[in-house]
Chains A and B, each alone.
Chain A
Amino acid sequence: MLRLNRNPGADTAIKLAVVACAMFAFVFVVMVPLYDVLCDALGINGKTSNTAYTAVPAAVDTSREVKIQFIATNNDGMPWGFRPQVTQLTVHPGAATDTIFYAENPTNLPMIAQAIPSVTPSRAAGYFHKTECFCFNQQPLDGMASTEMPLQFVVDQDLPKDIRTITLSYTLFDVTTMAGGTGTIAAR
């Protein structure tokens, strides 16, 4: 007799199926963006700001020294030469410092590169301000050409006292195809 009517279980099942679909969507529309937002907000992962820092006038703290190390790495399949001018600098918090990275395109074709920075320890990421950086823009380079790429940064005076060394690592990506250029495949 019961069977003649609509199965009461079907209503429950439909509701639960909606929940399951919502959880599937949750992964894409909530978890992924939330992860990025949290990493940016908390400075996790050594992600630094993608835009230039406007320097606020502040006293240079000459009583304190912080060691800055530079690392340059190529991503898989990136043929460029890429290295810092100096691998290590000692700076005072609050003092603007300039340095240079060298890049060289050994292929015969024009290419475009993008450098992605990462700061270790990640806690220091929020205190490492870049006032000028080649990583803010894509870097085009003709075949067989080389260039000097400038970086200017300030270490914040509020950097936690226990941090004495900051490592700034750049990974260089080939974005020629993404940037609409030509010739990447041949260059590889």
Chain B
Amino acid sequence: MSVILQATVISKVYTLGRSGEYQALKDVSLTIEQGEFVSVMGPSGSGKSSLLYCVSGMDKVSSGSISFAGLELDQLTEKDLAELRLQKMGFVFQQGNLLRNLSIIDNIVLAAYMGGSLKRADINQRAIELMQKTGILDLKDKDISQVSGGQMQRAAICRALINQPDMLFADEPTGALNLAATSEVMQILTTLNQEGMTIMLVTHDAKVAARSTRVLFMQDGQIVGEFKQGPLTSQADLPEQDGQLEQADLLDQSDQRDQADQPEQADLLPKTGQLDQAGLAQQSVLKARENSLSEWLAEQGF
């Protein structure tokens, strides 16, 4: 597989007024290959979000270099960086961070309209397909104040995907969601990754990180550990003793309000209440991966 993102010995220092400086990243190096799903974990203030925003070009590094899809970010002007983010990267922020004053569909199409390379009718069609896949099509004309946190995050994912980016960056996308919404959002990201999308995700939650192919653990601005677990579809790492997960447990997690919102054609989501054998198996695998990850994290002192 080819490398899509490479950070080499990057540091980030923030100036804190008169009181001095704060080093958020200390000589961090990182390589992400195409198709990978990398989670970044660590305690608060460990530099997870700083790493995500630096490698995505949203923040400038104090030293070191970053290349994305063969482009050296420090060689690009601010305008070129913006263009790169617009066309090649997708972002999902904590709490959605949709633009107020725009309806759900307008939030989704805005970035593509700005790109200007596609016809607006085609962009609208693509937005509708994405909303259909994520189960929010019937909310397309709603105000952002009229939808739940999970629905807003699904809209944010549609927005991130509208320009068919090469890589998706997600900063604690489930940080403000309940269990059911978390599960839905993560299922969408998992499916996307299975379809080939490279994802870098920052999270505190082992259940979320369990879906990624690789977990990086950060502390004091440095990557101090790495946990590889392979794609979620693989049954190879399923420990036998952890394979028994009752369907009832899964159903308990579902939020009844959100269940009512599920359209039938939401391809990226499991059809709640009708989990098939494959789905049940995946849940079992997830539980097992979460346990293994938790053990590893405990070893890291997390």
User: Is chain B a partner of chain A in the same complex?
Assistant: no
Give chain B's interface residues, CB within 8 Å of chain A: none
